[in-house]
Structure 1
Amino acid sequence: MSASLQQASASPMPEGVTDPNYKPLPGRLGNLSVEQQHILDKFRRSIQEEGWFVEERMDDATLLRFLRARKFDFEKAKIMLKSAEEWRKSFGVDQLTENFDFKEKALVDKYYPQYYHKMDKDGRPIYIEKLGKLDIKALYQITTQERQLQRLVFEYEKFISERLPACAKAVGHPVETSCTILDLGGVSLGNFYRVKDYVAQAASIGQDRYPECMGKFYIINAPWMFSTVWSFVKPWLDEVTVSKIDIIGASYQEKLLAQIPKESLPKEYGGSCDCAGGCSMSDAGPWNDQVAQQQPVEQ
């Protein structure tokens, strides 16, 4: 690659940036090399010419997620995006986003809490999942694996279309990823084996259909036998995803609070948040604010 192609392009910052300290990471809008900009333009033009470009879903930031996931290999990224589009049709994603109603949410929350809750210090939506509370027998008396996957996809779509834009508006710069806390406290190896098919499908949907959405990922309260569970999970994930995962035992509070404001972290994890009705059912965050206002993010 020539020096002229390696140097950063003069592409402008994305619209809506009001944070004077924002510096986009490489491979993002506002920080593309000349070659990366060329590949992005070619990528967009190619799918437009082939007639499967969806303007409302395929903005440049989205196209760049697929390009980064395939290290800016044009052909591989195109195959990945095409496969994701075919999956959307077979899974019925558009119909799901319009009609899905997870009426059993409150009951499921008792046996497998999974929820979004406020923002981290970089403006990312925080996602918390308590695998240790999983009660398979009770869970599948009130829902099914199919509905769990539908809920997962529904939440991914809301993450992309509502949560990220709301967080971006709140902090004054683009937000493209989440901060995840996976709590394994009290996890049963037997329960994990019974849900491993769901976990495998969920992992595949995340990295293949919604790539480059993981920012920070903390696995906390990892028990002594977690190495066995990890040996099953790790092969389902690509190396980039694995590199973003931080596995911690019971001494996790300092690391979480280094990334998450105390007022945004639930009390049970060392924060000060105690939402009425419980943090897991509150869906607290700027995506539910009636008026999106500029909120300072702790540095």
Structure 2
Amino acid sequence: MLWRTKSNHSQAEDLSRTASASNNDPAASATAAAGTAWLAGHLKHLTPEQEEKLVEFKKVCAERGYYTAAAGEKPASHDDATLLRFLRARRFDVEGAWGQFKDTEDWRKENAIESLYENIGVDSYEAARRMYPQWTGRRDRRGIPIYVFEIRHLNSKEMAAYNSTMSSAIPETHKSSSVPARLLNLFALYENLLHFTMPLCSALSRPNPETPIVTSTNIVDVSGVGLKQFWNLKSHMQDASVLATAHYPETLDRIFIVGAPGFFPTVWGWIKRWFDPGTTSKIFILSAAEVQPTLTSFMDPASIPKQYGGELEWQWGDMPNLDEPASELLKGAQVQEGDKKSLLKGPMLFKGDQIEVLGTENGKDRRNTIPVPTAQQKPISEATEIADKPIESASDADSTPVPTENEKVAVNIDQVPAEEAQTTTAAA
């Protein structure tokens, strides 16, 4: 199907005009070029003022009964990287961060999130995994995990089948929960991001090993999706975006939208209301010609799926295709499938020296602990280099970096003119 505007311009022409309009906006251009300032406000890259705010935040949370400092061999109730996510989400406003942190902790307790993740059935977890962004098993040049979300697979038939099976797949620990099963499963996917994928990526060699990985990069493929399908998926996509904004703040590095039809500005009009301005500034739309050069400026070609101009053998629905370092750390958590090994399905925790296998299979608890080989962190000079320019430290964050040619083609879709949203469809 080929999407065209009422004036019969092609999709490429629409995207070109959108790009021109956005690039003429200094704010949009600065947002697109600021990617390498990502370390500012992160652990080990704080300004003196931010260090003081972190200390103050801990004190506030402790006084109000929501945080316990480390004591002897007992770790703190929350690590600094987690607390900093809430502070960054509120631009280091302590009271603002406290409000969101308290709401999140209350929400986690009310919904027994840890118990949910520990007891969810593997089949239910796998069914949910196929309905939301999936980890490819690879990381970008900074070590951030790369997820892919192909919207076209979520047709009405697939959605109906998923929703009908979820009601009978609720963990025993949550049978009395008033929360819909589809949301419970979504919670579990976010827990996997926080407690398996991110700590695993933090343990692997990368340019800045002093700073934990706390975000993900997403390629969202909207090719072949009609306006009606977008509308039907509205609540499905809204669930994930609202949940992330409310209870998993600052876990998004970027979203690259590829394959966008000419009517996408209409869809963006709905979507942007689900996010705060900080999140919308991280979402970029790429034309077909921009996909490969833009993605390779952030990712090695070996880590980009072939369908997006890279070399990685990975298709929607596949389990993560691990690179050699990740495969080595997870070799005890892989099973042989045909002529290759595959990561175990279902919920797991990565705890540095061990992997905890969680969940139930055929109604039986499958908990198990798998030792992790000792990882040898490579010196920064041996890690994958960042394309085009070095990563900035917090002290560099206030200076505006010069955009590379690849960064210039990324379009901030919050700047799409409203008049370009009027479109019709035509069969190819």
**TM-score interval w.r.t. the shorter chain?**
0.7 to 0.9
Name the counterpart of 2:196: 162
| Structure 2 CA distance for partners of 1:46 and 1:229, relative to 1, 3 Å | same
Name the counterpart of 2:184: 150
**8 Å contact from structure 2 (residues 306, 312) kept in 1:** yes
Q: Which has the higher strand share?
A: 2
Take 1:182 and 1:24, find their aligned partners in 2: how far apart are those partners? 21
2:94 to 52, 74, 90: 74
| Structure 2 CA distance for partners of 1:163 and 1:293, relative to 1, 3 Å | farther
1:197 to 221, 235, 249: 235
Once the two structures are superposed, the pairs formed by residues 34-53 of structure 1 within 5 Å of their partners are 34-53=48-67
Q: Does 1:101 align with 2:121?
A: yes
Greater alpha carbon shift after TM alignment, 49-58 vs 194-203: 49-58
Take 2:376 and 2:305, find their aligned partners in 1: how far apart are those partners? 22
Name the counterpart of 1:260: 299
Name the counterpart of 1:209: 247
Name the counterpart of 1:219: 257
| Structure 2 CA distance for partners of 1:140 and 1:279, relative to 1, 3 Å | closer
Take 1:122 and 1:214, find their aligned partners in 2: how far apart are those partners? 14
Q: Does 1:186 align with 2:224?
A: yes
Name the counterpart of 2:310: 271
Take 1:51 and 1:106, find their aligned partners in 2: how far apart are those partners? 36
What SS class does the counterpart of residue 282 from structure 1 fall into?
Answer: coil
Amino acid corresponding to residue 52 of structure 2 in structure 1: H
Take 1:224 and 1:24, find their aligned partners in 2: how far apart are those partners? 31
Take 1:79 and 1:107, find their aligned partners in 2: how far apart are those partners? 34
Amino acid corresponding to residue 82 of structure 2 in structure 1: T
2:320 to 265, 278, 283: 283
Amino acid corresponding to residue 219 of structure 2 in structure 1: I
Aligned-pair CA distance for 1:107 = 6.3
| Structure 2 CA distance for partners of 1:59 and 1:216, relative to 1, 3 Å | same
Aligned-pair CA distance for 1:178 = 0.7
| Structure 2 CA distance for partners of 1:147 and 1:298, relative to 1, 3 Å | farther
Name the counterpart of 1:10: none
Aligned-pair CA distance for 1:56 = 5.9
Take 1:69 and 1:250, find their aligned partners in 2: how far apart are those partners? 32
TM-score (norm 1): 0.83
**8 Å contact from structure 2 (residues 257, 285) kept in 1:** yes
Name the counterpart of 2:384: 297
Aligned-pair CA distance for 1:294 = 4.5
Aligned-pair CA distance for 1:263 = 1.3
What SS class does the counterpart of residue 142 from structure 2 fall into?
Answer: coil
Bigger relative contact order (CA 8 A; separation at least 6)? 2
Counting matched residue pairs gives 275
| Structure 2 CA distance for partners of 1:89 and 1:107, relative to 1, 3 Å | closer
**8 Å contact from structure 1 (residues 219, 248) kept in 2:** yes
| Structure 2 CA distance for partners of 1:234 and 1:113, relative to 1, 3 Å | closer
**8 Å contact from structure 1 (residues 261, 298) kept in 2:** no
Take 1:193 and 1:138, find their aligned partners in 2: how far apart are those partners? 15
CA RMSD between the two structures: 2.6
Aligned-pair CA distance for 1:201 = 2.0
Q: Does 1:243 align with 2:330?
A: no
| Structure 2 CA distance for partners of 1:40 and 1:66, relative to 1, 3 Å | same
Aligned-pair CA distance for 1:188 = 2.1
Amino acid corresponding to residue 58 of structure 1 in structure 2: H
Aligned-pair CA distance for 1:109 = 7.3
| Structure 2 CA distance for partners of 1:37 and 1:289, relative to 1, 3 Å | same
Structure 1 residues without counterparts, runs of 5 or longer: 1-21
| Structure 2 CA distance for partners of 1:227 and 1:260, relative to 1, 3 Å | same
Take 1:198 and 1:258, find their aligned partners in 2: how far apart are those partners? 31
